[in-house]
Amino acid sequence: MNKRSSWALPYFIFLVLFVVVPLVLIVVYALQDASGHFSFSNITKFFTDKDALSTFALSIEVALENTALCILIGYPVAYILADKSLNRSAVTVVLFILPMWVNALMRTLATAELFTMAGITLGKGTLLFGMCYDYLPFMIYPIYNQLAKMDKSYAEAAEDLGAKPLQVFTKVTLPLSMPGVVSGVMMVFMPTVSTFAISEFLTNNKIKLFGTIIQENINNSMWNYGAALSLVMLVIIGITTFLQGKDSREAAEGGAI
């Protein structure tokens, strides 16, 4: 069986070529000026660019709010779905994931249109609502997975030891479901910061998020500055991944259906 380990080699080469090298290229391009010389100009440009900085701050703020909203709404959903006494049908779970199969842009456009029809002006409020709508399934699914595979006897043991229902939840269920929450956060937070099309549609281009300025720079051939902005995001990803640790990755595993 030992020779089988060499089967990882093609994928290793693939990963190096299409994941590692591109990420290195982001750093390389970010540290070059337009003529290809080494320079910190793009980085300093970002830290002196008021527009970019405020967009960045806003993006982080929106992402934090959206993530919090997704947890607040999504956790109870996941909890109810995973509780066999409250929900016995697997179809209900599928119903929550199903919207993901419809093109996200199309759904976002429809949401924006619904707001317009209801007479709600597109702005930060609608942006948050729409984001939450788009990313909610990504929060529900990992938490649900974590809760569903949790051994019921933990909760029973807590009850047996005298915990009231609320205490069972706060002292046992919630801590044990944290890996699911953490991987839900990973699946919601970074994508929210970097989204571009969705925020454009939901605010009618009134609010720009960080993803949009990256896209604008790349599309306008300002690759080096675009790369520098991407590098800023990479740093944040690095920090959040580091903080998250290893424990929660398993929660994201599992099937599609």
Partner 1 sequence: MKKILAKAYLWLILLVLYLPIVFIAVFSFTEAKSLGNWTGFSLNLYKNLFTGSMQNSAGLISAVENTLLIALVASLIATLLGTVAAIGIFNLKGRKKQTMQFLNNIPMINPDIITGVSLFLLFVFLHVSQGYLTVILAHITFCTPYVVLNVLPKLSQMNPNIYEAALDLGATPFQALRKVLVPTLRPGMVSGFILSFTMSLDDFAVTFFTRGTIGLDTLSTFIYTDARKGGLTPELKPLMTIIFLVILAVLLFINVRSTKTKTN
**Ranges within 207-246 binding partner 1 (CB under 8 A):** 211, 214-215, 218, 223, 226-227, 230, 233-234, 237, 241
Determine if 99 is a binding residue for partner 1 (CB under 8 A): yes
Determine if 9 is a binding residue for partner 1 (CB under 8 A): yes
The correct pick among 53, 64, 72, 102 for binding partner 1 (CB under 8 A) is 102
CB-CB contact of 167 with 98 (8 Å):
no
Report DSSP state, residue 36. S
| DSSP H or E segment with residue 92 | helix 90-97
Determine if 23 is a binding residue for partner 1 (CB under 8 A): yes
The correct pick among 34, 72, 86, 239 for binding partner 1 (CB under 8 A) is 86
Angle (CA) 99-101-103 rounded to 5° is 90
CA 34/CA 45 separation, integer angstroms: 13
The correct pick among 95, 120, 174, 235 for binding partner 1 (CB under 8 A) is 95
For residue 77, give the nearest of 7, 131, 139 by alpha carbon: 139
Determine if 107 is a binding residue for partner 1 (CB under 8 A): yes
User: Which residues between 28 and 47 bind partner 1 (CB under 8 A)?
Assistant: 29
Contacting range for partner 1; rule: CB under 8 A; set: 34-42, 43-51, 141-149, 249-257: 249-257
User: Which residues between 132 and 191 bind partner 1 (CB under 8 A)?
Assistant: 133, 136-137, 186, 190-191
Tokens for 181?
């929450």
CA 26/CA 95 separation, integer angstroms: 39
Determine if 103 is a binding residue for partner 1 (CB under 8 A): yes
In degrees to the nearest 10, what's the CA dihedral of 153, 155, 158, 160?
-60
Residue type at position 219: N
Q: Which residue, 163 or 234, is less far from partner 1 as judged by CB?
A: 234
The correct pick among 38, 50, 91, 162 for binding partner 1 (CB under 8 A) is 91
